[in-house]
Amino acid sequence: MVFAGGGNGDAASPLRSFLNLRFAVRVVQGRWFMVFASFLIMAAAGATYIFSIYSKDIKSSLGYNQQTLNTLSFYKDLGANVGILSGLINEVTPPWVVLAMGAAMNLFGYIMIYLAITGRTARPHVWQMCLYICVGANSQSFANTGALVTCVKNFPESRGIVLGLLKGFVGLSGAIFTQLYLAIYGDDSKSLVLLIAWLPAAISIVFVHTIRIMPYVRQPGETKPFFCFLYVSIALATYLLVMIVVENSVTFSHSEYSISAAILLFLLFLPLAVVIKEEIKIFRRKQQEINTPPTAITVVEEPPPVVAKVPEEVLSSENSNSSKLSSVTNMFRAPARGDDYSILQALVSVDMLVLFFATICGVGGTLTAIDNMGQIGQSLGYPTRSISTFVSLISIWNYAGRVTAGFASEIFLSKYRFPRPLMLTIILLLSCVGHLLIAFGVPKSLYLASVIIGFCFGAQWPLLFAIISEVFGLKYYSTLYNFGAVASPIGSYILNVRVAGHLYDREAAKQNRGVVGKARDDLTCMGVQCFKLSFLIITAVTVLGAIVSLVLVWRTRKFYQGDIYAKFKDGGADAAAAAVNEEDTASGGEVKMVQVGERGSVEVGRSSGGEEKEGEVVNGGKG
């Protein structure tokens, strides 16, 4: 069969082509606008990081003691990190369903907390508050699954960069929320809960239909826009850091907070300029391609092979005998690394178990340091203002670790075949430096320790999620991504609750034994010995995790020495046709021509039936 096409380009001026409703619709429906929408969703998906700001209102309004508040905090962490349900739902539904469910859960969970602490409802039982905060925090996993997983699938060859940027915006979300609530509600921390309730839900609903899976088509210079997004996010992080430092030393008026929030919103929406610029480039490139007359190509269809028909009775007998064992035997017959594992195949694989254990050790240790940074600073004699500075440094360097790990691991992998598991090992060993600085209480070293720990905590997440996507494939990435996140509450419970918390209370009881008028819940510990043994244990556990991660480095060495993105580069006419069909569904165009060029490249042209004609080039493999 013969496909031919061609046609004259639109004579309208480029400016007129860009400044019309059709181009605006193209921008909103485009791949890059979806990335921008994901940035905003992720920037509003980190409410759990500012629990310390409104936890005092929960404690005072509902009359909770510290133990009850810690129980509430545990359910917050549990809800935020156990996202298996959102992953399973995302496997069988489009992303907008997951985002809509997350918005509803966020609104319900946090609005009930707000009504409780403001006295608008009867005082809830403790189990009800645990349920509310668990549901509200679990909405974060729905936002992560709906937006982040979709972006990784749409940009599989830039997954490290995508993960680093999106997780970086999550790391900044706490500081973003703080600036916005000060501008909207003033210094009313109860109203912060109200902002957490409605703002993330509203953002998810507004952009719910722009987040969708798109057929992957390789584009020239695909990583350049991501570097532009990186520069904008660095400017945003720098601005937030400056504002945090200034606000800690200068008292702001409400109007000054409003100006600060306006600048913040400008930086948040600045990536939209990059989106429009990229869509203009794509539009011009397609105009040039459609104006170039293609050469008609004859595609010879080979007849299908003749297959001997097997009697249905034989097939049914074989199927009945094999189906009983297939679900069990297939679970232990893992495909080659990089191919799509089933959920069970991935969960029982040695690679996943090794990665999961290393993550429990690494994330558990750094999260313990972050959760106890206030008490660590207090025990070492740092002033209150310095302790708040430590928290701010952790937030900013958490962002820095995420974007650095994402971009650096992608660059080192593509240029030098440097395996991501080895980079994870290096990050684990680096975090041990921060743990040892805390353990020995080196004078004035807590500033450096907070930087190291914040950076390492953030860096582990993009590496973990990128390794999962590369080794086990993207078919069931929604579920496997959320399974990897379960390592956080496990590590936190073991190292934070059972180790650091227990040893701190034991040392505090020893110091305050016999002190008159000292209540049990008010016991505090002072001195290096409060956390020394805890962080020596954490350092040893983290070193063990680094050693175990070397097992994964060894097992995947041949996999990372090859081109792990080869299957995305070898997409041919099927990928091109799928991309065209997907865009034509939105624009109403029709396919007119398919041209096969040298080395398997496929050129697809189409006419929209109006004033505009387009073309697209896909780099295929060997045909």
Which stretches of 473-494 are DSSP H helices? 477-485, 487-492
The answer to whether residues 180 and 53 touch, using CB atoms and an 8 Å cutoff, is no
At residue 588's C-alpha, the angle toward residues 616 and 594, to 5°, is: 35
Domains in the chain and their CATH numbers? Answer: 1-12+570-623 (no CATH), 31-291 (1.20.1250), 342-511+523-568 (1.20.1250.20)
Which stretches of 473-569 are DSSP H helices? 477-485, 487-492, 502-511, 529-555, 557-561, 566-569
- The confidence score (pLDDT) of residue 443 equals 87
DSSP string for 407-444 = HHHHHHHHHH---HHHHHHHHHHHHHHHHHHHHHT-TT
Those residues with Cβ within 8 angstroms of residue 351's Cβ, 6 or more apart along the chain or in another chain: 337, 471, 472, 552, 555, 556
The answer to whether residues 621 and 218 touch, using CB atoms and an 8 Å cutoff, is no
Task: State the Cα–Cα distance between residues 439 and 433, nearest whole angstrom.
Answer: 10
Task: State the Cα–Cα distance between residues 44 and 358, nearest whole angstrom.
Answer: 29
Element containing residue 106 per DSSP (H, E): helix 95-117
Q: And the tokens for 19? A: 């400044």
Minimal CA–CA distance to 358: which of 97, 148, 138, 541? 541
The DSSP output letter for 519 is -
- State residue 573 phi and psi, 5-degree precision: -65, -30
- The confidence score (pLDDT) of residue 16 equals 58
Minimal CA–CA distance to 282: which of 23, 517, 568? 23
Query: Coil, helix or strand for 24?
Result: helix
Query: Coil, helix or strand for 615?
Result: strand
Those residues with Cβ within 8 angstroms of residue 389's Cβ, 6 or more apart along the chain or in another chain: 245, 248, 447
- The confidence score (pLDDT) of residue 584 equals 43
DSSP string for 320-366 = HHHHHHHHHHGGG----TTS---HHHHHTSHHHHHHHHHHHHHHHHH
- State residue 176 phi and psi, 5-degree precision: -65, -45
Query: Coil, helix or strand for 3?
Result: strand
- The confidence score (pLDDT) of residue 195 equals 92
pTM to 2 decimal places? 0.77
Mean pLDDT of each 10-residue bin along the chain, 623 residues long: 43 54 84 94 86 81 78 83 87 93 95 93 92 92 91 90 93 87 84 91 93 80 88 94 83 88 95 91 80 59 53 48 54 83 92 96 91 84 76 83 94 92 97 96 89 94 94 92 88 86 86 61 80 95 97 95 78 44 42 39 41 39 37
Taking the CA atoms of 89, 94, 98 and 101 in sequence, report the sign of the dihedral they define: negative
Taking the CA atoms of 130, 133, 136 and 142 in sequence, report the sign of the dihedral they define: negative
DSSP string for 302-318 = PPPPP-PPPPHHHHHHH
Residue with tokens 């495909």: 335
Q: At what angle do helices 159-184 and 384-416 cross, to 10 degrees?
A: 160
The amino acid sitting at 294 is P
